[in-house]
Structure 1
Amino acid sequence: MINRLLLLLAVVITLAAFAFRSDETAVIRINLLGYRPSSSKNAVWASLTDKTTARFQIVNAETNQVVWQREVSPAFGAYGPFRQTCRLNFSAFRQPGRYYLRTDEGTRSPAFRIGEDVYDGAADFCLRYMRQQRSGFNPFLKDSCHTHDGYTMYGPMPDSTHIDASGGWHDASDYLQYVTTSANATYHLLAALRDFPTAFADQHQTNGLAGANGQPDVLDEARWGLDWLLKMHPTDEWLFNQLGDDRDHAGLRIPQEDKLYGKGFERPVYFATGEPQGLFKYKNRATGVASTAGKVSSALALGYQLMRNRPSDYVDRDCVNRLRQRSQSAYQLGIQKPGNSQTAPGRAPYFYEEDNYTDDMELAAVEQLNVAGSASKQAVQWRSTALKLARQEPVTPWIDNDTARHYQWYPFVNIGHAELAKRLPISQRKPVTDFYKRGIETVWQRARQNAFYRGVPFIWCSNNLTTSFATQCYWYRQLTNDQQYAALEQANFDWLFGCNPWGTSFVYGLPAMADTPADPHSAFTHLKNYPIDGGLVDGPVRGSIYKNLIGITLKEPDEYALFQSDLAVYHDDFGDYSTNEPTMDGTASLIYLLAAKQSEKRPKTVELTRLTQKAGQPSTTDSKATFDKGAKIQGDTSSRQLSLVFTGDEFADGGMTIAKVLRNHKVKASFFLTGRFLRNRANASLVQQLRRDGHYIGPHSDQHLLYCDWTKRDSLLVTREQFLRDLKANYTALGRFGIQRSKATWFLPPYEWYNDSISTWTRQAGLQLVNYTPGTLSHADYTTPEAGNYRDSETILQSIRTYEQRNSSGLNGFILLMHLGTAPSRTDKLYDHLDELLTELRQKPYQLVKINQL
């Protein structure tokens, strides 16, 4: 009783703290979970009237002192219930602490934190919901349920044959269980462990009860999914697709032994036939089994990879071998019966209407490659098969269609593209990563029209789509180092945690004492006031979808009534199963994203910087500058200065044109040149002219080496000795032009690609690493028409103008990088537009300075 009273009190306090006063007409929506110091940081100011705002401040929440202020972005106009909106960009503010935002007309945001640890433990927190969803033994209830499952339907055996199908996870707030969502959830959990092992603790046993067992909790949870998938694929020829049907919805209850299906405590287990199914009036439109088989194959294959070296007291060899065998047999079933395996409806017309499968088989093929090994005889064939499948679905269809039926294209992100790209030679990856980019760009063209950067459609489970799209942006950024969509990626992440029209986090209990779901569509909370910690609710849907759903009646007054619109509605109300029901698979995909956010590299410590300063080396902790992995990527954003940077290696056709334009505008720039460039006799007069004109000239490596893998950035391709030897040769070449090492201590890495090791070696050599400021396409001036990443000069120039207009600090502190020349096949040369660009920049006016003066 005391626990219930405490829970009720917490809810009351939360509602009181975040309720919207009826006399207010504007709000500030922000990521309630917080921001990393180096991340993109934006909030949205939105007004229910036509009033506008001009400036905003960051206020220390502890002292109420203003610590930073800027102008707001240009107005975006109406969106949903709001008549006026704009973005508040405070990315340049990096000081850790607890703050709130305030605009000049008095609107104030909830408090939020900036800190390196703001996402720590969030992925583990969401694992609480996964444990609560367990069927069989449920560790939250410390009791068992659904232990008699189940009896077969549609199988090669007589209907009503008993098989052991107990275990797994309940799909959502009902107790149905689907193989397609369970396999996807299992894969996400396993991938989170593989990619971000430090994000998870060991506080629970394999059965989910408290107590460490020597293995990370995320593996315990994934193993629960693997065990059930093996039950649903018990032989090479048998694959089941579903446990239970919507007769489950007959009444509210805490999970128990259900007598709902007319056969004691057993529930029906639907065999994956590849043909339409449905025991009553409604039927699905199944055409094959590959969509389910592919997901099962990839989950079991990844499970095998992560389980095979675990201690024998955690998993036995027979189980490990079975994971490998069943991953192969599931793949073969997908080959034998291509097509989509949809879930079976019962007495209602709702079911998972999956209409694609090549993405699932692509991922399955990649994981078969991973099991076999890149050096195996089958590796080339597996890669070829996966690439062929990738080309059949380059973009997940909901992106191009901007709508979908319920789970029509599932999962909501093509995981296979990311995994395939990692397994291809660097020279062959770009076509696959461009598949991601095409989809991201499509969403961006919709998102850029509104202040929330919202381009994901408001269909059922929109939060699952949002999570998946943010993950696609993350994978693309990691695979390519292309930062141009970083703000879009962050905006989708921010949306989930409060930067949305309703100002609520969509994750139950995260963050604590913030506006999060309090009355979800869940029997656990509705009947027993049990918290469903970490559960991601479905999320907003279009007003037209909400109005046409069956059986929705709000139980309480709508606290978000002012913020509902035809564009989208969301209700924190038990009666709304369309927007406020948590899902197991959506939560699992969020666990991966949260683990990724927690695990992104953090800057070097202050202590390390002090040691650097003692050695007389350039400092990487200028409090007014921005650094990434030890490289300075932006100067003081409060100062109207920027630095123009040019790199030179193979081509120099624009050199004399650039030098002449700079002289005409009396502008000093910075040039980073390789040893190969400097030793080319055809470039000697240009280098001498640049020296006479007083430009900064520094090293860009000798042989233009690729220091680290494009997709595994921590994987070095050079040794420290190779790095230093190459750098020394670069300085020898500079010395022939009278450029002393002591006067050229800023180093721009080849390909603008480096990692923490390169940064450390650079610092130990007494140099400061520098790179361009992300956000524009200036560095794409090398691209050629025959390449998939081509950008013409007008597109590049427009990206610079757009960035300057949309960011409150404009191009302040910017490092704008271009190339001294390009391949002959690029006839549209950006340097031919340099005079136009400099004229615009100086009219703003910006002061253009050398890199060592920024």
Structure 2
Amino acid sequence: MNKQQIGDIAPSTIETAVPAAMEEIVKPVEPSGIQPQIGEMVKVDQIGYGTEESKLAIIEGDHPDGKPFELIEKNSGATVFTGRLSAPLADAASLKTVRRADFTSFQKVGEYRIFVEGAGSSYTFAIAASPYDKPLETLLRSYTLQRSGVAIDDPVTGLKLKAGHLQDKMAEIFFEDGISHKGETIDVSGGWYDAGDYGKYIPPAAVTVAQLLLAYDLNPTAFSAGQLMFPEGLKEADESLPDLLSEVRYELEWMLRMQRKDGAVYHKVSGAAWTGFVTPDTDTQTRYVYGMSTYGTAQFAGATALAARIYKPFDKAFSNRLLAAAEKAQSYLSLNEAAAFRQDPMQDNGSGGYGKQTDAEERMWALAELLRTTNDTNYRDQLTKEFGYLLEQSPQAVNWANTQLLGQWAYYSADKAEQQWQNNIRQAVTGRAKVLVARAEADGYLNTLNMDEYTWASVKSGAANGTLLLIANLMEPDEGYTAMALEQLHHVFGRSATGFSYVTGIGSRYPMEPHHRINAATGITIPGLVVGGPNRYGGDPDLDAVKEKLAPAMAYLDVRGSYSSNEYAIDYNAPVVLLASFFAGK
């Protein structure tokens, strides 16, 4: 993989090659005279819908106003509900005309499909009280199968791997700065492989850990011990620990190893060259510890301070280690006020860059989490003095390059927060939520993304918008926020313009050739991997060859080489886990 570096930073910062006129884009050809194939024109969440939740299917193509649709029971073939299609909507992102089929009032548990004459049938889906429980387990379990440094013999998927990258116990420092010494070896073993490659990076690790722990914090009933059916030898000794926390601890232990004695945190661990599609144990090249950054150190501080709070009821000693590491990182930041990102020659020859030259959002998040965990008002006072403007600023959805929303939520939830700032945060977050709801209402598929946002990791971005809506609802309860958050989850699981569920092994049509080395090398589909999704800007040879002919929401390829649209990453899964957990366990 030649990982995109600007990735999911705001599209305005990306140089694009967008067609000069929309007429140049090839519109999808709709069948004529024959019934379309299943799922071709009738799009549904391929998992299903909650009994008491909104239930909408998207019907593509040109149909008369008020045309009927049928809800058909899978086993009997009987029509159990009929309705009429909505007025047409021109969806700019897909260049399709769509209508909605609303069957919200039907609440009988079972398996069904939607049928429309001339558009055909949807894939089968469930109506259930809590349809996301099993998908949540699958999404979480994928992290276990991404572990570095352990042998895996998984009875569920059949995946068998020898322990990979054992050389991380003796990884070499790549640079010299008087404190770190080039060629010195340190133990940075463990953790999760970041994506389809075998690099391990602090920024996506920190935002992933934070969102997974936030999912637990907001709905602990969705997580339990025994939930993930760990392969033998991979479960924490404490059988009472919820499996989510057991899995996240494996990543946190690696993160702790990445902190050096002065509190700064190294940037990443990888080889000096990209590997082919090989298993982890056969990549025997020397592994190096590259770079440092103030933004990564601040993210480390935020994630470990949050984790200290979550783990305290289960393991006080581990909680204390985490808090000490967070405070040590914060001490380094206080002594080094200028933003810094170390970039050495050849640093990115075999791994993603994840470069960022600013760090304000991350410093704000670190201080907010430390305030919430310790109740030390010195953190509060420093935060409001230096970064108060960020507390009241409209947030982006959480991503590896921007953790502002995590900081706003941490401050808002802190016992020692000041009401004036809480009010300002609420206005900023709910104001952004209203914008997202309006966008989704105008979109044919109820997506929150605008046309320019179908870029690298668009599926993750849409899901992260959904989590922003959930946080807005916690600040100012509004059923419209939670309802639109759920619509973003429907998109992830198949109610999409392409007709794909963007999660391996989940749904009826999902990625079969993700850009993922373990999958490619073993032939085993690891279920629960969220891929990047439509990316109108491309970035790999396969997608670059066809992107000009595809509408933004259609710019996706299920081919191994399309790392700009079909690669998995740990931080892609994180907001989907958070969303699914909110609607699970009910």
Runs (5+) with no aligned partner, structure 2: 1-29, 154-159
Shift of 1:568: 3.4
Distance, in Å, in 2 between the alignment partners of 1:342 and 1:458 is: 30
Distance, in Å, in 2 between the alignment partners of 1:370 and 1:107 is: 53
Q: Which position in structure 1 is the counterpart of 2:504?
A: 508
Pair 371,440 (structure 1): closer, same or farther in 2 beyond 3 Å: closer
Structure 2 matches for 1:607-622, cutoff 5 A? none
Q: Which position in structure 2 is the counterpart of 1:152?
A: 173
1:225 to 248, 251, 254: 251
Q: Which position in structure 2 is the counterpart of 1:270?
A: 290
Q: Which position in structure 2 is the counterpart of 1:451?
A: 444
- Whether the aligned pair in 1 keeps the contact of 2:291 and 2:343 (CA below 8 Å) is no
Shift of 1:134: 1.0
- Whether the aligned pair in 1 keeps the contact of 2:264 and 2:297 (CA below 8 Å) is no
Quick check: 1:552 aligned with 2:552? Answer: no
2:583 to 594, 597, 600: 597
Quick check: 1:410 aligned with 2:433? Answer: no
Shift of 1:92: 2.7
Q: Which position in structure 2 is the counterpart of 1:166?
A: 189
1:199 partner letter? A
Distance, in Å, in 1 between the alignment partners of 2:485 and 2:461 is: 13
Quick check: 1:475 aligned with 2:507? Answer: no
Identical aligned pairs, as a percentage?
20
Distance, in Å, in 2 between the alignment partners of 1:106 and 1:205 is: 44
Distance, in Å, in 1 between the alignment partners of 2:246 and 2:184 is: 31
2:152 to 139, 142, 150: 139
2:565 partner letter? T
> RMSD across aligned C-alpha pairs, in angstroms?
3.3
Shift of 1:414: 1.8
Bigger drift between 570-579 and 207-216 goes to 207-216
Quick check: 1:302 aligned with 2:306? Answer: yes
Shift of 1:500: 0.5
1:535 partner letter? L
Pair 575,173 (structure 1): closer, same or farther in 2 beyond 3 Å: same
Per-residue CA deviations over 1:335-377 (Å, capped at 9, x if unaligned) read: 424436488752489632435533322322222122213xx55
Pair 554,78 (structure 1): closer, same or farther in 2 beyond 3 Å: closer
2:323 partner letter? R
- Whether the aligned pair in 1 keeps the contact of 2:305 and 2:326 (CA below 8 Å) is yes
Secondary structure of the residue that 2:186 maps to in structure 1? coil
2:374 to 369, 372, 375: 372
Secondary structure of the residue that 1:531 maps to in structure 2? coil
Pair 499,385 (structure 1): closer, same or farther in 2 beyond 3 Å: farther
Secondary structure of the residue that 2:41 maps to in structure 1? strand
Shift of 1:296: 0.6
Distance, in Å, in 1 between the alignment partners of 2:93 and 2:144 is: 36
Pair 226,211 (structure 1): closer, same or farther in 2 beyond 3 Å: closer
Secondary structure of the residue that 2:46 maps to in structure 1? coil
Per-residue CA deviations over 1:534-590 (Å, capped at 9, x if unaligned) read: 111111111xx22xx3443799xx9xx9x9535531122112111111111211332
Shift of 1:269: 0.4
2:564 to 554, 578, 581: 578
Shift of 1:268: 1.3
Distance, in Å, in 1 between the alignment partners of 2:476 and 2:392 is: 22
- Whether the aligned pair in 1 keeps the contact of 2:469 and 2:485 (CA below 8 Å) is yes
Distance, in Å, in 2 between the alignment partners of 1:250 and 1:380 is: 45
Per-residue CA deviations over 1:293-321 (Å, capped at 9, x if unaligned) read: 2211122112222333325xxx7x3x443
Pair 87,190 (structure 1): closer, same or farther in 2 beyond 3 Å: same
1:436 partner letter? V
Shift of 1:50: 7.3
Pair 212,422 (structure 1): closer, same or farther in 2 beyond 3 Å: closer
Shift of 1:486: 3.8
Per-residue CA deviations over 1:691-735 (Å, capped at 9, x if unaligned) read: xxxxxxxxxxxxxxxxxxxxxxxxxxxxxxxxxxxxxxxxxxxxx
- Whether the aligned pair in 1 keeps the contact of 2:152 and 2:231 (CA below 8 Å) is no
Q: Which position in structure 2 is the counterpart of 1:363?
A: 365
Shift of 1:207: 5.3
Pair 356,110 (structure 1): closer, same or farther in 2 beyond 3 Å: farther
1:197 partner letter? P
Q: Which position in structure 2 is the counterpart of 1:519?
A: 513
1:39 to 37, 53, 57: 53
Per-residue CA deviations over 1:739-791 (Å, capped at 9, x if unaligned) read: xxxxxxxxxxxxxxxxxxxxxxxxxxxxxxxxxxxxxxxxxxxxxxxxxxxxx
Distance, in Å, in 2 between the alignment partners of 1:495 and 1:299 is: 28
Q: Which position in structure 1 is the counterpart of 2:395?
A: 395
Pair 550,44 (structure 1): closer, same or farther in 2 beyond 3 Å: closer
- Whether the aligned pair in 2 keeps the contact of 1:28 and 1:107 (CA below 8 Å) is yes
Q: Which position in structure 2 is the counterpart of 1:96?
A: 109
Secondary structure of the residue that 1:56 maps to in structure 2? strand
TM-score normalised to structure 1 length: 0.57
- Whether the aligned pair in 2 keeps the contact of 1:37 and 1:116 (CA below 8 Å) is yes
Shift of 1:37: 1.7
Distance, in Å, in 2 between the alignment partners of 1:348 and 1:299 is: 26
Q: Which position in structure 2 is the counterpart of 1:433?
A: 426
Secondary structure of the residue that 2:412 maps to in structure 1? helix
Pair 210,54 (structure 1): closer, same or farther in 2 beyond 3 Å: farther
- Whether the aligned pair in 2 keeps the contact of 1:137 and 1:207 (CA below 8 Å) is no
2:106 partner letter? F
Distance, in Å, in 1 between the alignment partners of 2:490 and 2:553 is: 19
Quick check: 1:538 aligned with 2:542? Answer: no
- Whether the aligned pair in 2 keeps the contact of 1:51 and 1:84 (CA below 8 Å) is no
- Whether the aligned pair in 2 keeps the contact of 1:497 and 1:506 (CA below 8 Å) is yes
Distance, in Å, in 2 between the alignment partners of 1:528 and 1:587 is: 22
Pair 46,205 (structure 1): closer, same or farther in 2 beyond 3 Å: closer
TM-score normalised to structure 2 length: 0.82
Per-residue CA deviations over 1:579-612 (Å, capped at 9, x if unaligned) read: 111111211332222211104xx5xxxxxxxxxx
Secondary structure of the residue that 2:568 maps to in structure 1? coil
Secondary structure of the residue that 1:118 maps to in structure 2? coil
Q: Which position in structure 1 is the counterpart of 2:22?
A: none
Pair 421,386 (structure 1): closer, same or farther in 2 beyond 3 Å: farther
Q: Which position in structure 2 is the counterpart of 1:609?
A: none
Pair 441,365 (structure 1): closer, same or farther in 2 beyond 3 Å: same
Pair 429,24 (structure 1): closer, same or farther in 2 beyond 3 Å: farther
Secondary structure of the residue that 2:48 maps to in structure 1? coil
Distance, in Å, in 1 between the alignment partners of 2:114 and 2:193 is: 41
Shift of 1:442: 3.2
Shift of 1:178: 0.5
- Whether the aligned pair in 1 keeps the contact of 2:215 and 2:578 (CA below 8 Å) is yes
Q: Which position in structure 2 is the counterpart of 1:114?
A: 127
Q: Which position in structure 2 is the counterpart of 1:328?
A: 327
Quick check: 1:62 aligned with 2:75? Answer: yes
- Whether the aligned pair in 1 keeps the contact of 2:470 and 2:481 (CA below 8 Å) is no
Distance, in Å, in 1 between the alignment partners of 2:109 and 2:41 is: 24
Quick check: 1:252 aligned with 2:264? Answer: no
Secondary structure of the residue that 1:67 maps to in structure 2? strand
Structure 2 matches for 1:401-800, cutoff 5 A? 409-411=401-403, 414-423=405-414, 424=417, 429-456=422-449, 457-511=453-507, 514-542=508-536, 545-546=537-538, 549-552=539-542, 564-565=550-551, 567-599=553-585, 602=586
Shift of 1:169: 1.1
- Whether the aligned pair in 2 keeps the contact of 1:205 and 1:212 (CA below 8 Å) is no
Shift of 1:41: 1.8
Runs (5+) with no aligned partner, structure 1: 1-19, 261-265, 275-288, 399-406, 603-854
Distance, in Å, in 1 between the alignment partners of 2:385 and 2:573 is: 31
**Which structure would you say has the larger RCO, counting Cα contacts within 8 Å and 6 or more residues apart?**
2
Shift of 1:43: 1.5
Distance, in Å, in 2 between the alignment partners of 1:343 and 1:173 is: 23
Per-residue CA deviations over 1:146-173 (Å, capped at 9, x if unaligned) read: 1222111234332111111111111101
